[in-house]
Amino acid sequence: MMNEFSELDLDVLKEIGNIGAGHAATSLSLLLDRKIEMHVPAVKVVDFDEMMNLAGGPEERVVAVYLRIHGDAPGNMFFVLSPMQAGMFVKQMTGVVSCQFTDPPYDDMAVSAMQELGNILTGSYLTSLADFTNMNLQPSVPALAIDMVGAVLSYGLLELSQYSDQAIVVETLLVDETGSTQDIRGHFFLLPDPDSYQKIFTSLGVNAHD
Amino acid sequence: MIKVAKVVKVGIADMNFVTTPDMLKTSGLGSCVAVILFTRHRQVAGMAHVMLPSSSLNHSPSLNQAKYADTAIQALLAGFKKHHIAGYMLKAKIAGGAQMFPFASQKDDGLARIGPRNVKAVRQQLEAHRIPLVAEDIGGTAGRTVVFDPATNILQVKTADRGVAEI
């Protein structure tokens, strides 16, 4: 099924990543009171192992916020950060210096602040996506995992894996404008269910089989 | 001649075989289950990284056998047959089947609790093929990376939080 997409289709998905992550970057800027920028989104057709490599490799420990998208175009979404970056975010948000995700056990407040951050970012991504496509898209309550990339992201591939050995990954990177070694890098991964692509394209007036 | 040991990777929904001194490794198992079949005498091992419990879930025109518990174990057995190793000579170790997101996807589709379902399906298949399951490290809420060495038949299980265990 993954070979059926045209360049135009992939451009549409790229634009979705652009709009969603653009809004999320704005939310994050407001939250942290510093300028956050966004890289041009990448839309890639990758096999599952390649997808894990995009997020740092299957064994790499990450902080990931996962949510299920319900409604007109169901799918899965992840926001993935390195434990170091997640710790920095939460320190800036809460002002509590002890917040960290590099060594368990984790502070309850750090976990709940990270969950809230994920909630805000994925929520603003999804809201803008719903507005853009004029579809009804509702996020589930986001769940947080601090674990290996493969263990976390493979959960989002379960629906898809029944149809294909490849995934279309709409990947967007958020970066701190200073570009220093302290910069913030966060990955959004949008993984629509197989049936959802056609609905997304139709909602935007694009016929996937032109 | 001395052979240099390689670590052969098994990807997601993938399988591989090695003979000593090579080892098998699969990284970042969450709800997926690593199934390792081995034999004491021949120093051959096969590993599959199973993602889903049954090939009846397959909606793709092509079937990736390593992806599903039932077809993965059949494919492993077929691989051993090529090495002239019969099913009755085999033993199994398994690891994985965690629940990574306990609150997610509850009211959703049938894919909730996929980790435990994968474990159950793998156990049933092993039983159906009369392959003794001699060790397992399953369930919980943490991801695992596993390495199997057919020279010792030890399965090393590494988790992000608990360190390394040997089963």
Interface residue A115 vs chain B (CB under 8 A): no
Q: What is the pLDDT of residues B92-126, one digit of tens each?
A: 999 999 998 865 444 455 567 899 999 999 999 99
Q: How far apart are CA A186 and CA B94, in angstroms?
A: 34
* Phi, psi for B123 (deg, rounded to 5): -60, -45
Residue B1 pLDDT level (bands cut at 50, 70, 90): low
Closest CA to B153 of B135, B126, B140: B135
Q: Report whether pLDDT(B75) > 90.
A: yes
Q: Which chain B residues contact residue A57 at CB under 8 A?
A: 27
Chain B residue numbers touching A47 (CB-CB < 8 A): 11
pLDDT(A177) > 80 = no
A68 to B104: CB separation less than 8 angstroms, yes or no:
yes
What is the chain A residue with the closest CA to B162?
A: A104
Q: Are A125 and A23 in contact (CB under 8 A)?
A: yes
Question: Pairing relation of β-strands B7-9 and B23-29?
Answer: parallel
pLDDT tens per residue across span B37-61: 999 887 999 999 999 999 989 888 8
B117/B113 Cα distance (integer angstroms): 6
Domain B7-166 has CATH 3.30.1330.200: yes
CB contact under 8 A, A58 and B12: yes
- pLDDT higher than threshold 70 for residue A123: yes
CA distances from B145 to A61, A136, B24, B153, B156 (A): 12, 39, 11, 16, 8
CA separation for the pair A149, A180 (Å, rounded): 25
Contact list in B for residue A52 (CB cut-off 8 A) is 12, 28
Contact B12 A104 (CB under 8 A): no
CA A59 to chain centre: 19
CA distance readout (Å), B25 to A168, B7, B146, B163: 26, 6, 6, 16
Q: What is the domain partition of chain A in residue ranges?
A: 2-203
Nearest to B60 among A58, A70, A163 (CB): A163
- What confidence score (pLDDT) does residue A210 get? 45
Could B28 and A161 be called an inter-chain contact, meaning their C-beta atoms sit closer than 8 Å?
no
Residue B96, both tokens: 């994985």
Catalytic residue annotation of B: 32
**Which residue out of A54, A159, A161 would a mutagenesis test of the B interface target, given it has the greatest number of B Cβ atoms within 10 Å?**
A161
Q: What is the pLDDT of residues A89-99, one digit of tens each?
A: 888 888 888 88
A-chain CB neighbours of B28 within 8 Å are 52, 58-59, 148-152, 154
Please tell me which of the candidates B27, B52, B105 has its beta carbon nearest to residue A58.
B27
Q: Do A149 and B28 touch (CB under 8 A)?
A: yes
Of A58, A145, A162, which has the smallest distance from its Cβ to B57's Cβ?
A162
A19 and chain B: CB distance < 8 Å anywhere? no
Q: What is the pLDDT of residues B12-38, one digit of tens each?
A: 999 999 999 999 999 999 999 999 999
Write the single-letter amino acid at B108: D
Instruction: Tell me the C-alpha distance between B116 and B93, whole Å.
Output: 16
Q: Are A36 and A184 in contact (CB under 8 A)?
A: yes
Buried b (16+ CB within 10 A) or exposed e, B4-42: eeeebebbbbbbbbbeeebbbbbbbbbbbbbbbbbbeeb
CATH topology of domain A2-203: Chemotaxis protein chec (3.40.1550)
Q: Strand, coil or helix: what is A204?
A: coil
Which amino acid is residue A30, in one-letter code? L
- pLDDT at position B134 over 80: yes
Instruction: Report CB contact under 8 Å: B52, A159.
Output: no
ipTM above 0.90? no
CA B38 and chain centroid, separation: 11
